Structure 1
Amino acid sequence: MANAGHAIRGSRVGAGPLGESERGDAAPRVRVSYWCANGHETTPSFSANEDVEAPEFWDCPRCGFPAGLDAAHPPEPMRNEPYKTHLAYVKERRSEEDGAALLEEALATLRARRTGLRRAS
């Protein structure tokens, strides 16, 4: 008699037959339909409070595209920009002339260090 019938099986803290009277009244809700470019419809629920407005766009849980309120004209999927290298970002900020000047300055610094090392040895 290891258990001796003292354990309550299939139950956990807070579980039980709770009804509306024990939980309280549910807040009034309104369901809003959104459609994505793939034709998926999603209907999240929002507070029916007049101070709360449903957002214009919602992410589609099936494909991740943005979904809008107009089924006939859903929003276009966002374009993903290709990965840029560090060099691409630098080229956006600097002209070719600036780059050449910086390179020459860095090479001059390296050459000065090398000549200093040769004299010290």
Structure 2
Amino acid sequence: MAGGSAIRGSRVGAGPMGEAERGDSAPRVWVSYWCASGHETRPSFAQEQGVAVPETWDCPRCGLPAGQDQANPPSAPRNEPYKTHLAYVKERRSDADGAALLDEALSALRARRGG
């Protein structure tokens, strides 16, 4: 026979208390959101006045943004690939600018060395 107490495996607040013990829940409104993959998500929000329902919601199935218009869901965000420091420098300067800067730096170095 297994020993132990009668409340083993339960936690504080567990049990069939129901609404009478916890109080009434706030009135809710369910809003449908659709992603580009066609998934529907229906989160609930408080029905209080002044509470703004967000225009977009992240789809829990695929992670894409979802909107309230089923015919025109928001598009997936464009992911930029990782760029190195050299890639950013090449965006700002042309090869001619780089050659001019290199010549200027080499001239200054040679002048300091006395050669």
TM-score interval, normalised by the smaller of the two chains: 0.7 to 0.9
Q: Quick check: 99-108 or 73-82, which moved more?
A: 99-108
Unaligned runs of 5+ in 2: none
- The verdict on how the C-alpha distance between 1:11 and 1:111 changes in structure 2, with shifts beyond 3 A counting, is farther
Cα offset, 1:109, TM superposition: 6.2
- Tell me, yes or no, if structure 1 residue 49 matches structure 2 residue 48: yes
Match in the other structure for 1:102:
101
Q: Scaled by the length of structure 2, what TM-score is found?
A: 0.78
Whole-angstrom CA distance in 2 between matches of 1:111 and 1:15? 81
Unaligned runs of 5+ in 1: 117-121
Whole-angstrom CA distance in 1 between matches of 2:11 and 2:72? 48
Q: Scaled by the length of structure 1, what TM-score is found?
A: 0.74
Cα offset, 1:82, TM superposition: 2.3
Cα offset, 1:35, TM superposition: 0.6
1:75-113: CA deviation from partner (whole Å, max 9, x where unpaired) = 121222222221111122334444334333544566678
Cα offset, 1:50, TM superposition: 1.6
Match in the other structure for 1:14:
13
Q: Quick check: 85-94 or 50-59, which moved more?
A: 85-94
Whole-angstrom CA distance in 2 between matches of 1:70 and 1:32? 11
Taking the TM superposition and a 5 Å limit, the aligned residue runs for 1:25-64 are 25-64=24-63
Match in the other structure for 1:119:
none
SS of the equivalent of 1:30 reads strand
Match in the other structure for 1:89:
88
Whole-angstrom CA distance in 1 between matches of 2:6 and 2:92? 70
Match in the other structure for 1:66:
65
Identity of aligned residues (%): 75
SS of the equivalent of 2:66 reads strand
Cα offset, 1:30, TM superposition: 0.5
